[in-house]
Amino acid sequence: MKRIVILTIVTSVMVFSSIMIPKLYEKTLAKAEITAMSNITYTDYVNATGEVDCNNNRFIVNAVVKEEDISKVKIGQSAVITGKGFGGREYKGTVDVISDTARKLQQGVMGNTVVDVVILIEDNDEMIRKGNTAEVKIIVSEQRQISVVAYKAVHQDENGKEYVYVFRDGVAVRKDIITGLELSDGIEVLSGLAPDDKVLMPKDEIENGNYVKVVE
């Protein structure tokens, strides 16, 4: 009888352990979401602001560019023009004139050094009026494909080295990366990641070699 009782207790413990230990172990795992690099089309541009004017029956934008950006601007570059008075429309433009002098522009309590540029509006219509304010994006590079990863996935160590964790056989593995542009879509990855790497966005603190539970 005692033997039967002991066997029953041992069996119960084994069953309990087989159910509870994995659950307890699972609770100790760091949680993370999985993402990956994505490719986006990127075009570099310089911002300019100004006002619509009319010159020889052609509409132009007299705009200013900050001195730190003017070296990128060249005559003949394309531009995209928007404004509050344009009903949500976009217009094509071309850089027509770049001033050979810089000047101080006072904006409230802040002052900036700027260079005047003239943007010729190519496709004006009845929405374009002299005196309209305009926002201009001057396109300064050809479209190119770049790889980006989410900001949440990128970490930096005490030496300033940037890295991500990738998911490999249930484990978080550190991979050092070199980054480039910081965009609204994420941060550009210049090297260090493969297109098929499963990049982790940790919800808990993790370290290299930690087992990880992937969550949605």
Distance CA 13, CA 36 (A): 43
CATH class label, 45-139? mainly beta
Q: Which CATH number fits domain 29-40+144-214: 2.40.420.20, 2.40.30.10, 3.40.1160.10, 3.40.50.300?
A: 2.40.420.20
140-153 tens-digit pLDDT? 988 889 999 999 99
pLDDT at 27: 47
The pLDDT mean for the chain works out to 86
In the predicted structure, residue 19 carries a pLDDT above the cut 50: no
pLDDT at 207: 86
Distance CA 64, CA 73 (A): 11
157-216 tens-digit pLDDT? 999 999 999 999 999 999 999 999 898 889 999 999 999 999 999 888 888 988 988 887
pLDDT at 101: 95
Torsion of CA 39, 43, 48, 53, to 10 degrees: -120
Domain limits of the chain?
29-40+144-214, 45-139
